[in-house]
Structure 1
């Protein structure tokens, strides 16, 4: 879909985790500057895509148009608890079909996780915004992407044709940065 720009967003620990062993994003991985960066990006997005255990949990979240990736439906279905959301099973319908169902044909699509959802779009990202908290470690945590136990998030992004841009410091005191990884050529 040529008028869509697909962007990914995640903050990871030094060991590439987006959540702890209980699959919960711990407070030590939450930084106000990263939250502001993330919120601003989502406010500009035409559509948010995430798994059923992910979400941004912000006051204006229910107003955002979204796709929830799940195996609980065969293809596409309305979300009974949110009129702005569509349930999508990638095994039963294409991404183009779910965008059509959501009425989104142009703009930025923000992919916000979890790991399997990020994996669905690895070869489609225009930009992936990788925020890093190098002082945080989450042993036994949930990797941000499939394959992170064998490779770093950066190696996985590079293997899928993305190149790192200039990192931007979000929180100097905690060394939190965000790096845009953009599709080559």
Structure 2
């Protein structure tokens, strides 16, 4: 059993895209309520994991410990441009080794993308926070998971044992909501 709690975070368009065809998150997918939710969540985690093209770009971003997936190293290496970042090649080291190298042996890890990084953890998420902008479409865009749009992000999460929780409104004017998808929560009883 892992010493890490693993949470995923993404906002997607109605068609399951996290970016446009140029792999850029367009302004129409940026909502103040979602950005505040995301920023507050990242301020509470111990480590952020993402690919080379993903980055949250927030005021606290440089202070956050992170692991960046890359093929620029055989296994693990310090990021020469960021003292809080570790480069990780999953072909040469395990996730746990990457966390240890980054100095985070336990705690909460936030996975923030891109699609291949999200997919690596589909069987390990404790909670995946799926925000959706139902009035935004990005035809030909970049999907949040491999297999989208043929299957919805929700169908992919459910196929990996995650169960939907109660959605919360992040922007009522645009119907943007975040839904927690949790690993087999089941019924809890007190002992």
What's the TM-score, normalizing by structure 1? 0.98
Q: Equivalent residue of 2:91, what SS?
A: coil
Q: Which position in structure 2 is the counterpart of 1:161?
A: 161
Q: Which position in structure 1 is the counterpart of 2:55?
A: 55
RMSD between superposed Cα atoms in Å? 0.8
**Rounded Cα–Cα distance in structure 1 between residues aligned with 2:16 and 2:139:** 10
Residues 54-100 of structure 1 show CA distances to partners (whole Å, capped at 9, x for unaligned) of 01001110110000001121110100000000000111100010011
Give 1:52 deviation, angstroms.
0.5
1:1-20 equivalent positions in 2, closer than 5 A: 1-20=1-20
Moved over 3 A (4+): none
Give 1:106 deviation, angstroms.
1.9
- Counterpart check, 1:113 vs 2:116: no
- Counterpart check, 1:67 vs 2:67: yes
Q: Which position in structure 1 is the counterpart of 2:39?
A: 39
- Ranges in structure 2 where 5+ consecutive residues have no aligned partner: 186-191
- Counterpart check, 1:148 vs 2:145: no
**Rounded Cα–Cα distance in structure 2 between residues aligned with 1:146 and 1:122:** 11
1:80-159 equivalent positions in 2, closer than 5 A: 80-159=80-159
Q: Equivalent residue of 2:83, what SS?
A: strand
Give 1:149 deviation, angstroms.
2.5
- Ranges in structure 1 where 5+ consecutive residues have no aligned partner: none
Give 1:3 deviation, angstroms.
3.0
**Rounded Cα–Cα distance in structure 2 between residues aligned with 1:172 and 1:30:** 14
Q: Equivalent residue of 1:49, what SS?
A: strand
User: For this pair of structures, how many residues does the alignment match?
Assistant: 185
Q: Which position in structure 2 is the counterpart of 1:181?
A: 181
Residues 149-173 of structure 1 show CA distances to partners (whole Å, capped at 9, x for unaligned) of 3200000000000000000011110
Q: Equivalent residue of 1:156, what SS?
A: helix
**Rounded Cα–Cα distance in structure 2 between residues aligned with 1:10 and 1:184:** 20
